């Protein structure tokens, strides 16, 4: 993932993309000062990363430059990772847990929030355990593998009086925020058609993503959730029905348990249609919306960037951001101020997405249109 310093951000923003339209649509959090790690003297939110896979590394990088959060602890089942991360990030031994002794975190007053970055099927267990320990929770998307699991997580957090968020980083990303604005404000009129796809070639690698018991599914639940999100936040509507089709299987060993690729079509109350695809056998990363009086699109659109966008009126130019830092700072600031998190990143939002994902799978299995109302 390409990173950008705050000095370069300010320079690019001031000299390269300083148009009135861009300035008006940039979110307020993008005005944080350079070297924010050292410029804020107040309390920081102490975060534990639960699960130390690839994405946890990106989160750790974001936490290193965060204004409102710090990496205070880790949870891992691999002793060598515990040792390496402890040394690299100067984590005290008392803040290093494994999956067996995790519940002891209830006694650790130096921990405020647990960020669950485990395989999808483990999200529910550790979110609930964290909530019972009195810690706020962020879970990576998808929130869980079933809607009922999502509801259990929400109930546990509510009972414990802690906040629950889902790691929807694109809700803080400038290009995707612009897609949302253009669609919901009907800048080019009513959006009629959305096409959004995300996929990459995973080769012959077999890991937890290929194991249904851990992943809950294949590229749909891992990548397609971003496409579902994009259609919903561009239109500001909830889909009313879906049809779907599984793609062919070219690697029967790797994809014995989960789909290799899938396409689906969401129908919305306004009459808009969203055609989408997600795949583990090819690379694609695009978002296109056609409205009554024009179009807007991103490609790349959903990954870690850098993004590229244009509309029927010309190119879009926004500065790159550290997506993980920005997301964490926005969440951390609100929790430190004892404020509620915005609805678009809470458990309720996660539940909506998982409900739609389950309906897409049902439609693909049965070959029938599935109602979502």
What is the set of domains in the chain, with CATH numbers?
6-167 (3.40.50.720), 174-320+345-371 (3.30.360.10)
Q: What is the CA radius of gyration of the chain?
A: 20
Q: Catalytic residue, from 97, 172, 175, 226: name it.
A: 226
- Structure pTM? 0.88
- Closest among 21, 129, 13, 45 to 327, alpha carbons compared: 45
Q: Is 141 among the residues known to form the active site?
A: yes
Output the pLDDT for position 203.
85
Q: How many Cβ atoms are within 10 Å of 273's Cβ, its own excluded?
A: 16
Angle between helices 147-160 and 123-132 (to 10 degrees): 10
**Per-residue model confidence as pLDDT tens digits over 39-96:** 444 799 999 999 999 999 999 999 999 999 999 999 999 999 999 999 999 999 999 9
Query: In which residue ranges of the chain is pLDDT below 50?
Result: 1-41
The length of the chain is: 373
Please, are residues 39 and 124 in contact by the beta-carbon 8 Å criterion? no
Spatial separation of the C-alpha atoms in residues 216 and 222, rounded to whole Å: 9
Sheet containing strand 96-97, strands side by side: 96-97, 69-75, 45-50, 113-116, 136-139, 164-166
Spatial separation of the C-alpha atoms in residues 134 and 178, rounded to whole Å: 36
Q: Is 172 among the residues known to form the active site?
A: no
Burial class (CB in 10 A: 0-12, 13-18, 19+), 59: buried
Residue 206 is classified by DSSP as -
Please, are residues 66 and 325 in contact by the beta-carbon 8 Å criterion? yes
Q: Catalytic residue, from 44, 135, 141, 333: name it.
A: 141
């Amino acid at each position: 993932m390409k990173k950008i310093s705050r000095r370069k951000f300010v320079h690019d923003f001031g000299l390269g993309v300083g148009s009135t339209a861009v300035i008006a649509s940039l979110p307020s959090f993008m005005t944080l000062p350079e070297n924010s790690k050292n410029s804020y003297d107040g309390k920081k939110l102490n975060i534990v990363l639960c699960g130390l896979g690839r994405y946890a590394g990106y989160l750790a990088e974001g936490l290193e430059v965060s204004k409102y959060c710090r990496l205070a602890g880790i949870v891992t089942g691999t002793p060598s990772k515990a040792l390496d991360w402890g040394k690299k990030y100067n984590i005290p031994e008392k803040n290093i847990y494994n999956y067996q002794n995790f519940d002891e975190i209830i006694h650790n007053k130096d921990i405020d929030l647990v960020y669950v970055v485990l395989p999808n099927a483990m999200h529910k267990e550790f979110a609930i355990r964290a909530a019972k320990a009195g810690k706020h929770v962020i879970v990576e998307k998808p929130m869980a593998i079933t809607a009922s699991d999502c509801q259990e997580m929400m109930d546990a957090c509510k009972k414990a009086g802690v906040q629950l968020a889902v790691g929807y980083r694109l809700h803080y990303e400038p290009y995707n925020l612009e897609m949302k604005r253009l669609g919901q404000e009907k800048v080019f009129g009513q959006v009629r058609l959305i096409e959004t796809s995300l996929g990459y070639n995973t080769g012959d690698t077999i890991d937890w993503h290929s194991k249904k018991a851990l992943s809950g599914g294949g590229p749909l639940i891992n990548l397609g959730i971003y496409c579902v999100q994009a259609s919903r936040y561009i239109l500001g509507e909830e889909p009313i029905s879906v049809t779907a089709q599984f793609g062919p299987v070219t690697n029967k060993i790797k994809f014995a348990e989960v789909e290799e690729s899938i396409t689906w079509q969401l129908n919305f109350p306004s009459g808009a249609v969203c055609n989408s695809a997600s795949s583990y056998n090819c690379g694609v990363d695009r978002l296109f919306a056609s409205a009554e009086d024009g179009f807007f699109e991103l490609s790349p659109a959903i990954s870690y960037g850098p993004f590229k966008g244009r509309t029927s009126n010309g190119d879009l130019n926004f500065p790159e951001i550290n997506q993980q830092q920005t997301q964490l700072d926005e969440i951390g600031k609100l929790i430190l101020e004892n404020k509620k998190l915005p609805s678009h990143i809470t458990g309720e939002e996660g539940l909506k997405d998982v409900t739609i994902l389950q309906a897409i799978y049902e439609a693909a299995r049965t070959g029938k249109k599935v109602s979502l109302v």
